[in-house]
């Protein structure tokens, strides 16, 4: 039986607990805030975190000293309390994101969660005058991302997407090498054929049971259709896009960056082989092709760029070339050993500290961060388009796409995947 929830009912406990009932945040243009209300150059930025799962904990453990964690919210409030106890923290705990969005003493929000959960609280955060760091994959579908971009721009927020390779010097230098023409004209880009997800939009899951105490299951589901409670199960395309949107968010982002395509997308998508992991070839307006054909042992965080003068493989914080002298030339511009030490963290498995620092620096300067919202939206939109091609495409029959309108030109079936109906109470506000 479906359990009824009031999505505004949260347990609020902490060292400085607020009232348990909060009004929905009104739109507050950032321009109404005086410069003096923003963190100064020598002030710590007060951060609220939405989500405290595995990835969130890694990020919070790496939060630079220029930030101060004030509150953590999680749909599973017991998980949030456990995290605070493990870290001997003193921050406030909430059973949902609304109190963090509403608190005027919080400057910025760190949003993790899952891709079907991100857009709704992120938009509410920027509407309340906060800057945001959101993990990838940024969105569940394309129109969701465009709506996020429009709200961020309207609110003049600093919004960083968690594609941390954008802050890696080795990746930046290698990308500039490709864009500047050192490889000559790029004839083809070889990308990993990231697996998609099989099944219908909603997959039946086993093991459903009663909702655990302290778990706001309604808020956890967010925009997605109601289903029985299986806390650790993600059921189908209504919730995520497989590895194409997971690791693909990094690899495709590197492709967009290196090709200088941050402000556009391919104009054609063609299915080469069928199935959830079918090979897709994407073609930009200038004829450059991206072929998803490499095995998962390939450069998951990048791609192989094939030019008239050679090949350059870019991966996370490293690159190789054929001929080898291309790599040697690149290493004249960056200290490889220094960057390796900077980004290595065997405890955390991956490093994001410097990407977080870029975000915090931009909050103070009001500049756009390395992985700005528009960049993040376009990169994950590319991944969504590859998956949509797998969903509806027919082998060797191209689907044409307009990067300006962000819609397919000749396929209503494909366009139906650009947007989704959202559950009542979780509709995105108009811009």
Walk me through the domains of the chain, giving residue ranges and CATH numbers. Answer: 12-165 (3.40.50.720), 168-198+241-348+373-415 (3.30.360)
Q: What is the pLDDT of residue 25?
A: 35
Q: What is the pLDDT of residue 136?
A: 96
Nearest to 272 by CA among 249, 254, 289, 251: 289
- Quickly count: other Cβ atoms within 10 Å of residue 169's Cβ: 17
Measured in degrees and rounded to the nearest 5, phi and psi for residue 260 equal 70, 35
CA dist 80 to 5, 135, 427, Å? 20, 18, 26
Q: What is the pLDDT of residue 323?
A: 95
Contact between 58 and 349 (Cβ < 8 Å): yes
**SS3 of 391, please?**
helix
Question: CA-CA distance, 207 to 233, in Å (whole number)?
Answer: 9
- Which distant-in-sequence residues (6+ apart) come within 8 Å of 113 by Cβ? 50, 51, 53, 121, 135
Q: Which helix (H) or strand (E) holds 189?
A: strand 186-192
Contact between 295 and 277 (Cβ < 8 Å): no
Question: CA-CA distance, 294 to 133, in Å (whole number)?
Answer: 31
Q: What is the pLDDT of residue 209?
A: 79
Question: CA-CA distance, 98 to 9, in Å (whole number)?
Answer: 10
Q: What is the pLDDT of residue 152?
A: 98
Under DSSP, the state recorded for 135 is P
Question: CA-CA distance, 107 to 233, in Å (whole number)?
Answer: 33
Q: What is the pLDDT of residue 15?
A: 37
Helices (H) and strands (E) in the chain, counts: 13, 16
How high is the mean pLDDT in each 10-residue block of the chain (431 residues)?
34 37 36 51 90 91 96 96 96 97 97 93 98 97 98 98 96 96 96 85 66 92 86 74 96 98 98 95 98 97 97 95 93 88 69 95 98 98 97 95 97 95 93 92
């Amino acid at each position: 039986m479906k359990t009824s929830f009031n999505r505004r009912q949260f347990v609020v406990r902490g060292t400085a607990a607020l009232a348990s009932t909060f009004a929905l945040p009104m739109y507050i243009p950032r321009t109404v805030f005086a410069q003096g209300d923003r963190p100064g150059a020598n002030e710590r930025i007060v951060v609220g975190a939405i989500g405290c799962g595995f990835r969130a904990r890694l990020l919070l453990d790496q939060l630079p000293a220029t930030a101060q964690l004030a509150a953590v919210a999680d749909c599973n409030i017991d998980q949030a309390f456990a995290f605070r106890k493990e870290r001997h923290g003193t921050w406030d705990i909430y059973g949902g994101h609304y109190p963090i969005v509403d608190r005027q003493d919080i400057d910025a929000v760190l949003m993790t969660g899952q891709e079907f959960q991100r857009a709704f609280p992120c938009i509410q955060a920027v509407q309340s005058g906060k800057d945001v760091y959101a993990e990838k994959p940024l969105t569940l579908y394309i129109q969701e991302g465009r709506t996020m971009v429009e709200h961020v721009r309207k609110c003049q927020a600093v919004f960083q997407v968690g594609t941390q390779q954008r802050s890696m010097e080795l990746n930046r230098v290698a990308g500039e090498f490709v864009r500047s023409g050192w490889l000559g004209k790029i004839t083809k880009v070889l990308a990993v054929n990231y697996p998609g997800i099989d099944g219908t939009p909603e997959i039946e899951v086993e093991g459903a049971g009663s909702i655990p105490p302290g778990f706001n299951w309604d808020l956890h589901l967010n925009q997605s259709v109601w289903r029985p409670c299986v806390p650790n199960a993600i059921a189908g395309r209504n919730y995520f896009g497989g590895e194409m949107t997971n690791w693909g968010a990094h690899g495709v982002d590197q492709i967009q960056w290196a090709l200088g395509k941050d402000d556009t997308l391919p104009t054609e998508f063609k299915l080469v082989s069928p199935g959830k992991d079918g090979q897709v070839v994407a073609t930009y307006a200038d004829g450059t092709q991206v072929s998803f054909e490499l095995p998962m042992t390939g450069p998951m965080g990048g791609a192989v760029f094939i030019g008239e003068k050679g090949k350059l493989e870019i991966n996370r914080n490293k690159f190789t070339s054929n001929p080898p002298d291309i790599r040697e030339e690149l290493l004249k511009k960056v200290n490889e050993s220094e960057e390796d030490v900077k980004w290595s963290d065997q405890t955390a498995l991956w490093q994001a500290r410097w990407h977080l620092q870029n975000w915090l620096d931009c909050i103070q300067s009001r500049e756009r961060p390395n992985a700005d919202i528009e960049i993040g939206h376009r990169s994950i939109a590319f991944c969504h388009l590859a998956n949509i091609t797998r969903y509806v495409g027919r082998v060797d029959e191209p689907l044409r796409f307009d990067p300006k309108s962000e819609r397919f030109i000749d396929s209503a079936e494909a366009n139906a995947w650009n947007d989704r109906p959202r559950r009542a109470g979780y509709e995105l506000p108009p811009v």
